[in-house]
């Protein structure tokens, strides 16, 4: 499995460790099912918490990706990619929303909970953000989704060892209400070979050869290995937060404490023909930068595919068939 749930927190685990042998799952082996829980059908207000010291450039890359979820862009676009996520419905037949608004940002540059965080401490970061003075984020249990992004110097429990990011929901005892959230760490200096793959390679892959020759890192589409690597993890977590916000909606397997969600099923797949260490057919820019989606402000992104419940396969808008 590509997922490892610790402390009952849903998490994205290291996909680079399985990249060389990863193959798209066969439909008959996927037991993805709906477990009657809610999905995010209403327009979502995204509240971003920039924890630690952030430079403006990577913030701009990430902000443009989030804006691209709902804004028109050349095809294949981020919005086109999100249409697969929108195929998931709740028990009333309502689809996952296609409307995202960047409703607020907070810069926690004072490291309010230190530079080393436990997984549960991410909820305390959110609590501090909605209680901060004089500026604070609203507490929005109806439409809010809180995205905690930690800077390159912040260490998070299991980051770079077993997870690159995770999503879950807040505990009322900590934050005051139940609201979905996701955390993603910046891996540029700590573990690019794990969490910024395929823009960096883990040590065991360096010098490895496959059927098409040597395995090489791909060029980052925005020339920032750490931020570009975060984009795919953010996309992964947003897709799963939207389709399984309380860990009781869409997932495969019998154990909700260890679910395989709609993005887990497609880890390492970015284009047609992916498998065996090959990310699939993607576009290349004039300087070799790899991408499969267009976004706002002329941005390009490389984002992993998600499971399409109609086609019964991993799918993205750059598919060749």
Residue 72 belongs to some domain of the structure: yes
Residue 44 belongs to some domain of the structure: yes
Contacts 24+ apart (CB under 8 A), 280-284: 281/318, 281/320, 282/218, 282/318, 283/318, 284/219
Q: Look at residue 210 in the predicted model and tell me its pLDDT.
A: 52
Say if CB 200 and CB 225 are below 8 A apart: yes
Residue 268 belongs to some domain of the structure: yes
Pick from 224, 150, 231, 232: nearest CA to 188: 224
Residue 286 belongs to some domain of the structure: yes
Q: Look at residue 59 in the predicted model and tell me its pLDDT.
A: 98
CA distance 15 to 301: 18
Q: Structural domain of residue 283, as residue ranges? A: 39-315
Q: What is the dihedral of CA 288, 294, 297, 298, to 10 degrees?
A: 40
Total domain count, the chain:
1
All residues at 6 or more sequence positions from 49 whose CB lies less than 8 Å from its CB, including other chains: 105, 106, 108, 125, 126, 129, 137, 146, 147, 148, 149
Q: Look at residue 10 in the predicted model and tell me its pLDDT.
A: 40
Residue 121 belongs to some domain of the structure: yes
Cβ neighbourhood burial of 230 (10 Å; 0-12, 13-18, 19+) = buried
Q: Look at residue 254 in the predicted model and tell me its pLDDT.
A: 84
Residue 216 belongs to some domain of the structure: yes
pLDDT tens, per residue, the chain with 321 residues: 233 333 334 434 433 333 434 567 777 678 999 999 999 999 999 999 999 999 999 999 999 999 999 999 999 999 999 999 999 999 999 999 999 999 999 999 999 999 999 999 999 999 999 998 778 999 999 999 999 999 999 999 999 989 999 999 999 999 999 999 999 999 999 999 999 999 998 877 766 555 555 578 999 999 999 999 999 999 999 999 999 999 999 999 888 888 899 999 999 999 999 987 789 999 999 999 999 999 999 999 999 999 999 999 999 999 998
CA distance 312 to 203: 34
Residue 160 belongs to some domain of the structure: yes
Residue 1 belongs to some domain of the structure: no
């Amino acid at each position: 499995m590509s997922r490892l749930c610790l402390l009952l927190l849903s998490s994205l685990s290291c996909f680079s460790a399985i990249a060389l042998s990863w193959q798209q799952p066969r439909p008959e082996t996927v037991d993805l099912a709906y477990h009657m829980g809610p999905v995010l059908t209403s327009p979502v207000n995204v509240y971003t918490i920039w924890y630690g010291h952030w430079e403006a450039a990577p913030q701009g890359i990430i902000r443009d990706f989030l804006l691209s979820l709902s804004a028109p862009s050349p095809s294949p676009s981020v919005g086109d990619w999100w249409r697969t996520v929108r195929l998931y419905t709740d028990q009333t037949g309502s689809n996952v929303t296609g409307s995202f608004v960047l409703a607020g940002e907070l810069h926690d540059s004072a490291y309010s909970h230190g530079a080393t965080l436990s997984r549960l401490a991410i909820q305390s970061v959110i609590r501090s953000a909605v209680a901060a003075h004089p500026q604070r984020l609203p507490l929005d249990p109806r439409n809010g989704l809180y995205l905690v992004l930690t800077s390159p110097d912040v260490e998070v429990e299991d980051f770079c060892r077993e997870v690159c990011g995770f999503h879950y929901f807040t505990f009322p005892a900590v934050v005051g209400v139940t609201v979905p959230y996701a955390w993603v760490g910046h891996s540029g200096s700590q573990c690019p070979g794990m969490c910024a793959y395929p823009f960096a390679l883990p040590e065991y892959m360096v010098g490895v050869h496959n059927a098409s020759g040597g395995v090489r890192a791909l060029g980052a589409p925005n020339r920032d290995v750490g931020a570009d690597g975060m984009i795919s993890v953010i996309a992964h977590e947003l897709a799963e937060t939207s389709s399984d916000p309380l860990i009781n909606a869409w997932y495969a397997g019998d154990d909700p404490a260890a679910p395989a969600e709609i993005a887990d099923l497609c880890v390492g797949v970015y284009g047609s023909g992916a498998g065996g260490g090959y990310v699939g057919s993607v576009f290349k820019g004039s300087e070799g930068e790899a991408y499969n989606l267009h976004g706002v402000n002329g941005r390009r992104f490389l984002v992993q595919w998600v499971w399409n419940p109609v086609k019964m396969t991993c799918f993205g808008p750059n598919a060749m068939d």
